[in-house]
Amino acid sequence: MTTGSRSIDDAWRRWIAENLLLEAPPPALHGALVGHGFDAAEAAREIDAALASPYFHGATRLRNRLRKREWILSVYGELNRMRAGSGEIERRERLPRDVFFEQYYFQNRPVIITGAFDSWPARTRWSFDYFRERCGDCEVEVQFGRESDTNYEINQPRLKRMMRFADYVDLVESSGPTNDFYMTANNTSHNRAALAALWSDVPTIGEYLDAGSPDTGFFWMGPPGTRTPFHHDLTNNFMAQVIGRKKIKLVPLSDTPHMANHLHCYSQVDGSAIDYEVFPAMRNAQLIECTLAPGELLFLPIGWWHYVEGLDASVTMTFTNFLRSNDFAQRYDTYHEL
């Protein structure tokens, strides 16, 4: 390889600074630059200039403050692991309101509640035939082409397609396992009105949710094999499983530093097959798994990372209209690349 044929530009200077802030040894950076065709003397000068820069010293102080916050999060994580049963999600029957809010909502702990929506008409009425009969001619919005786009969740606005609900129901019922098409909360702005006839079948769970809220829930429907990649939400959430089962992997909010969070609320970690060689920090994350069955209500606390996979053709309702404040996004502005 011919050296000296390239000049180090600002993109490479940023690369040098980021890696120095991550405490990569300068000789290793120098070797990498030379290996990419840069002159050895120029590479040494750029590394020395970065180390001497007052901008770099300022960034180092900011890095240290962020590390202090990461340490605080790690304390919460260690304390959580000390709790008996912390490696699994508790299942509680008809959890009283005050117990739910005091022990789970306010403490940022997940829980599966059974018996909470047994009285829903949807529990006995909802089926593929019922959907076709009730709303078959309604036009709904669905995501298609997910399997051809590795960033299908980030790029979901590009994947929207309109179709008759009956045709979508037929597709879900006849399909084998696939993640290529899925009706999710991201399609709700249109589908909540299109499928309004179904909403009377899922009345508010008044023990925990605000019946007066205009937020009346989100409808999810897809075949077995649907996947929602690792991400965290900006609200507390309920997942009410109506039809089929879903496998869910969760990681506590306190383990965010291990989650390869590169953009907004998304992780680069593939929840379907975690690669610990590529993402070794995931070995430090507490991974909790559960299977959510029909009739079960999962409380997903704000900030908890979760990966969701449909084990069967499934229908899920999700809710955010809790009786206690659920507005935590006002000071959140890190949607950009992290």
Q: What is the mean pLDDT of the chain?
A: 95
Do 170 and 96 sit in the same domain of this protein?
Answer: yes
Residues 175 and 36 grouped into a single domain: no
Q: What is the pLDDT of residue 337?
A: 77
Query: What percentage of the chain carries pLDDT values higher than 70?
Result: 99
Does 168 lie in the same domain as 30? Answer: no
Query: Is there a single domain that holds both residue 31 and residue 149?
Result: no
User: Are 192 and 249 in a shared domain?
Assistant: yes
183 and 315 share one domain: yes
Terminal Cα distance for the chain, rounded: 34
Q: What is the mean pLDDT of the segment spanning 82-108?
A: 95
- Say if residue 116 is in the same domain as residue 217: yes
Report pTM.
Answer: 0.90
| Confidence (pLDDT) at 5 | 66
Mean of the pLDDT values across residues 231-257? 97
Evaluate whether residue 64 is within a structural domain. no
pLDDT given at position 248: 98
d(CA 155, CA 207): 36
- CATH code for the domain of 96: 2.60.120.650
**pLDDT at 36 > cutoff 50:** yes
Tally of domains in the chain:
2
pLDDT tens-digit series, residues 44-63: 999 999 999 999 999 999 99
The answer to whether 325 and 240 have CB atoms below 8 angstroms apart is: no
Segment holding 33, helix H or strand E: helix 26-35
Burial class (CB in 10 A: 0-12, 13-18, 19+), 258: buried
Same domain, 38 and 139: no
Containing structural domain, residue 116: 86-319
330 pLDDT higher than 70: yes
Residue 322 CA to residue 315 CA, distance in Å, equals 21
> What is the pLDDT at residue 338?
76
| Residues 177 and 219 placed together within one structural domain of the fold | yes
What is the mean pLDDT of the segment spanning 243-265?
A: 96
Judge whether 325 lies within some domain: no
Q: Indicate if 249 and 120 belong to the same structural domain.
A: yes
Could you give phi then psi for residue 257, rounded to 5 degrees? -60, -15
- Of the listed ranges 150-164, 244-258, 324-338, the one predicted with least confidence: 324-338
Residue 4 has pLDDT above 90, yes or no: no
Q: What is the mean pLDDT of residues 2-22?
A: 86
Same domain membership, residue 141 and residue 185: yes
Q: Per the domain annotation, does 168 fall within a domain?
A: yes
What local confidence, expressed as pLDDT, does residue 2 receive? 46
140-178 tens-digit pLDDT? 999 999 999 999 999 999 999 999 999 999 999 999 999
Q: Judge if 31 and 92 occupy the same domain.
A: no
pLDDT at 279: 95
- Report d(CA 273, CA 20) in Å as an integer: 31
